[in-house]
A and B are shown apart, each in its own frame.
Chain A
Amino acid sequence: MPELKFTQSQEMLRKAVREFVEKEVKPIAHRIDVESSFPADVFQKMGRLGFAGVFVPQTYGGAGLGQTERAIILEELARHAAGLAMALMTHHLGVEAILAYGTDEQKAKYLPDVATGKKISGLAVTEPTGGSDVAGQLANASRDNGHWVINGRKCFITNSSNAEVNIVTARTGEDAKGRPAFSAFIVESGMEGFSPGREEDKLGLRGSSTGDLLLNNCRVGEGSLLGGEGNGMRMALGLFTKIGRTGMAAIGLGIIRACLEEGVKFARERVIYGKPLAKLQAIQFEIAQNRIDYEAARLMTYHSIGLKEGGAGADAEIAAAKYFATEGAVRAAKRTMDLMGGYGVINEYPVGRYLRDALTTISCGGTSHIMQIIVAGQTLN
């Protein structure tokens, strides 16, 4: 088995992203967390640099790269601002939906704007009944005179108040076996009957907006149907795995690295009993555990993405990576707080934010319980 090694251009890409993040994102990370605000201007800049359309072909204004490069971007972003990474990761869900399932007309219409970050995208599946229970959703769409009329309420939707190009799923009838069938629609902000609803006050990942999307007799044209009638469920599940969970794994990985680096910095600089904290073995163990979690999460994340890019199913590997990286982020943040003592709980230091962000990643893209169910299912079958 070959070593996991990034190409020279991937290393350069990481460096370029890191430079941007350190100059433009790190300085605002604390503020967007405190204010729970999405920095639209920074997102625009990210778009111009290719982050928003990293895996979109250059013919549509993207960077023409793949999911590994996307994960590098998310990891680097989450190193300083996991909330903003969350907004980008969700944007990619909408972008991939159009790229993978859109007609040529839909791609030509939407991709140039979303790939360059001019317009923000998102995916709205979850309802008050649940997210991973895709079949339980109640939103419905019916044909009316060459149009679709969509009704329903989506909740816990990331980018709800910022996205201009929303991919919304709704029940559109039943399949041959009498089970509910779902379809996806491209719904643009400002369309009649469509509006963002309440916004949530989240524990973490506060640099992204999360809230309701309300569809009240929202009429869209036939051209808004995405991926064909009845394909909404398959599409949503595919996106959850390929984009959602890989993205969350990369974000968890970025948080672990943040904890690792902050912990090392603190342990080197903080002097106690006349010597740096780093000289104490108990502290060395905490640093080692952070490093081990980072190494494992890194291998699992990039390896599972590599498998998927190579055409394998990789559902279990991706679920395992999502589980491990996000749970690892929680562990790493807790450990880092422990080693920092009193400083760990002071909000001037970022570790408290890392812990809140880490806890919040667990519920995004399927909880740790769901991830284990997927891994178990794939293992036992």
Chain B
Amino acid sequence: MPDRKRALWAVAEQTRGKLASVTPEVLGQARRLAAEAGGCEVAAILLGKDVGALANDLLACGADKVFLVEDPALELYQNDTYGTVLHRLIRREQPEVVLFGATAVGEELAPTVAARLGTGLGAHCTNLALAPDGLLTMGVLGFGGRLHTEMFCPDRRPQMASVKPGMFPPLPREEGNGEILREEASALLSGADIRIRTVRIVKEEPEGMPLEDADVIVAGGWGIGGKENWRLLTELARELSGATGCTRPALDEGWTDGEHTMIGTSGKTVRPKVYLGFGISGSPHHTVGIKDAGVIISINSDPRAPVFECSDYCVEADFRKILPLLLSEIRRAKVPA
């Protein structure tokens, strides 16, 4: 089929009928790649039970068509069932590119499918480009964010990549008139070797504003020194209607609200308008996660802290002095004169 449009696929992720926040990001990027290369169509693949309502969301997020596979056996994610369905669909449709969100689920599902297809897979990509000839450039970070490598999969298809959450902004929603293709799930699942059973998926939805949605992030590192001081950070974040973030060492010390607040290579990539960092030394593991922030302000008593190099504004001071003053100044500023 020489005149057939090249297909770019985005594998959607949903839990209990809710799309993962990375899915619109992946779709948006697939749309941009399609425009870049020309002559491409974007398809989303949605698996689950009673998730048909989400298909329209996927069209609105940039898909030209949605492959919808619904079955009770797909209610809860499990790599044997999901892997089998995806593998068979990809074999049948032969898309040029298949993208996954590099979530925990994507991190398992993508290599599973790639192994079955015998093709290459780029991991946790932070940028992607598609040439007119269909070759995908996959930019990946290694060595804790210190090394950027361009990867290619020149002679196997499809080209597969997982996309690091938070890297690509989703497109504005546009109610599309794409096509929803309902697939016969039992055929795609028949004879699948299901070796593990998912008992349940437990989501502990965190309190407070998610880091991804915050205009202001108040982040703390190891220098904060304890839970007492951490409370001041949370207070400041609340005062600014923002979110609290942390580094790996602060998380390990148990001062923070949990893993969902960690920023960096093994945590989240954030893009707030303003990022305020307190007591953060600035290892690349962390700073790679804030590179897209609008303005970075760092407060650290150590003038040699590497974080100052990647900050817009540097305050060489003890955060214990600055934080309380800042809180009262902000409260005063917010009172209408």
Kindly supply a per-residue 1/0 record for chain B positions 272-310, scoring 1 wherever the CB is within 8 Å of any chain A CB and 0 otherwise.
000000000000000000000000000000001000000
Could you say which residues of chain A place their CB within 8 Å of the CB of B304?
A: 269-271
Shortest CB-to-CB span from A139 to chain B, Å, is 47
| C-alpha gap A269/B304 in the complex (Å) | 6
Q: Which residue of chain A has the shortest Cβ distance to B301 in the bound complex?
A: A348
| C-alpha gap A269/B306 in the complex (Å) | 9
Q: Number of B residues contacting the other chain (C-beta, 8 Å)?
A: 1
| C-alpha gap A271/B309 in the complex (Å) | 13
Interface residues, chain A, CB within 8 Å of chain B?
269-271
Main secondary structure of the interface of B (DSSP, over half): loop
| C-alpha gap A38/B183 in the complex (Å) | 69
Shortest CB-to-CB span from B164 to chain A, Å, is 30
Could you say which residues of chain B place their CB within 8 Å of the CB of A271?
A: 304
| CB pairs A–B below 8 angstroms (3 shown) | A269-B304, A270-B304, A271-B304
Ranked nearest first, the 3 interchain pairs of A and B with the lowest CB-CB distance are A269-B304, A270-B304, A271-B304
Shortest CB-to-CB span from A349 to chain B, Å, is 10
Kindly supply a per-residue 1/0 record for chain B positions 86-113, scoring 1 wherever the CB is within 8 Å of any chain A CB and 0 otherwise.
0000000000000000000000000000
Shortest CB-to-CB span from A29 to chain B, Å, is 16
Could you say which residues of chain B place their CB within 8 Å of the CB of A270?
A: 304
| C-alpha gap A171/B203 in the complex (Å) | 73
8 Å CB interface, B297-337 against A = 304
Shortest CB-to-CB span from A124 to chain B, Å, is 40
Shortest CB-to-CB span from A262 to chain B, Å, is 13
Q: Which residue of chain B has the shortest Cβ distance to A271 in the bound complex?
A: B304
Shortest CB-to-CB span from B304 to chain A, Å, is 5
| C-alpha gap A269/B305 in the complex (Å) | 9
Q: Which residue of chain B has the shortest Cβ distance to A270 in the bound complex?
A: B304
Shortest CB-to-CB span from A162 to chain B, Å, is 28
Shortest CB-to-CB span from A26 to chain B, Å, is 13
Shortest CB-to-CB span from B320 to chain A, Å, is 13
| C-alpha gap A271/B302 in the complex (Å) | 12
Shortest CB-to-CB span from A151 to chain B, Å, is 50
Q: Which residue of chain A has the shortest Cβ distance to B305 in the bound complex?
A: A269
Q: Which residue of chain B has the shortest Cβ distance to A348 in the bound complex?
A: B301
Shortest CB-to-CB span from B205 to chain A, Å, is 34
| C-alpha gap A160/B334 in the complex (Å) | 61
| C-alpha gap A328/B304 in the complex (Å) | 29
